[in-house]
Amino acid sequence: MNAKFTINKVSISYEVYGTGKPIVLLHGGAVDFNYNYVQTGWIQTLREKGFQVIGINFRGYGESDKSNDPDFYGTTNFSDDVINLINHLKLENVGLIGYSMGTVIAFDLLHKHPEYFSKAVLIATGDGLIGIPPFILGNIISGFAQVFSYDSFPNHLPSHISSYWNFINVVGLDKKSMIALSLGKYPPLTVQNAAEIEVPILIISGEKDLVLGKGQKAAQSLPQGEYLEIKDANHFELATDKKVHQSTIKFLIKD
């Protein structure tokens, strides 16, 4: 089911697959729910284990509302949209999966609204979640405003950065919206914030992730944190990696 809901004059699009235990999927930056999760097999992976899959398209993505104002975006607005969607669908005991930028939103949700969530898996993320440099999204993402502003492929940039120019063009995203989104506010949580999160969380990082690094310290800061590192994997390969899919399911269904 594809649908929209509107709160505070902002319309957010979402998709629901099947019935069962609900799990909300938060996509990464410069890609939408379809590109991040549908095309990479996550719906099938989760549905086969009896989960109801709910995918949100963040502001600026898919059929959700867009703006050229950076204040329209940012962690707080994205997080509020997720909680509003959960309330709109009357969901309880929700599982949560975040990928890349989606992990920053997920971490914020788990800290501010833990009562909604049963477990969470954060994929393609790192210690920047708790403010450990150099891979802190809030410091990195503003640089993508320049990447998105190029009229042609920026082949002078490292491939893990120039890939994002390809993403917004392949997915068909609005460049002005993506530039504004990149200039929004995405502050990290702290080690102290993480220590307050009682929800069980699995952090999965790629050994060769040059975008957000690795998250072992972030996992260790959590009362119920677990860490998995995928050998030789980069930031983007984790979306389709079989071990990532299998480990996510194993974590979500275990007692």
9: tokens are 């004059």
pLDDT at 142: 94
What whole-number distance in Å separates Cα of residue 29 and Cα of residue 2?
21
Q: How far apart are CA 201 and CA 195, in angstroms?
A: 12
Average confidence (pLDDT) over 1-18: 96
pLDDT at 238: 98
Q: What is the mean pLDDT of residues 130-154?
A: 96
Given this model, what pLDDT does residue 1 score?
Answer: 85
Let me know how many helices (H) and strands (E) the chain has, helices first.
11, 8
Q: 78-119, pLDDT tens digit by residue?
A: 999 999 999 999 999 999 999 999 999 999 999 999 999 999
Measured from the Cβ of residue 193, the count of other Cβ atoms closer than 10 Å reads: 18
What percent of the chain is predicted at pLDDT more than 70?
Answer: 100
Q: Is 150 exposed, middle or buried (0-12, 13-18, 19+ CB in 10 A)?
A: middle
The closest of 120, 52, 57 to 91, measured between CA atoms, is 52
**Hey, which bits of 113-240 come out as E strands?**
117-123, 201-206, 225-230
Query: How far is residue 52's CA from residue 177's CA, in Å, rounded to a whole number?
Result: 30
- pLDDT for 202: 98
- 156 is written with which tokens? 């002078």
The pLDDT score that the predictor gives to residue 255 is 79
Average pLDDT over residues 118-125: 98
Would you say 120 and 201 are in contact if contact means Cβ atoms under 8 Å apart?
yes
List, in order, residues 6 or more apart from 83 with CB less than 8 Å away.
109, 113, 116
Mean pLDDT of 121-146: 96
pTM recorded for the entire structure: 0.97
Find the helix packing angle between 101-112 and 75-88, rounded to 10°: 70
Query: Average model confidence (pLDDT) for the chain?
Result: 97
Helix (H) or strand (E) holding 83: helix 75-88
Q: Which long-range contacts (CB under 8 A, 24 or more apart) does 90-95 make?
A: 91/22, 91/24, 91/54, 91/116, 92/22, 92/116, 93/21, 93/22, 93/118, 94/22, 94/23, 94/24, 94/118, 95/21, 95/22, 95/23, 95/24, 95/51, 95/119, 95/120, 95/121, 95/252
What average pLDDT does the segment 18-37 reach? 97
Where do the domains of the chain lie?
2-139+185-253
pLDDT mean over 174-193: 97
Q: For residue 7, give the 3-state DSSP assignment.
A: strand
Residue 38 DSSP class: I
Residue 134: asked if its preceding bond is cis (omega within 30°), the reply is yes
Scanning the structure block, which residue is given the tokens 């990532």? 244
Q: Which CATH class is domain 2-139+185-253?
A: alpha beta
97: β partners:
25, 121
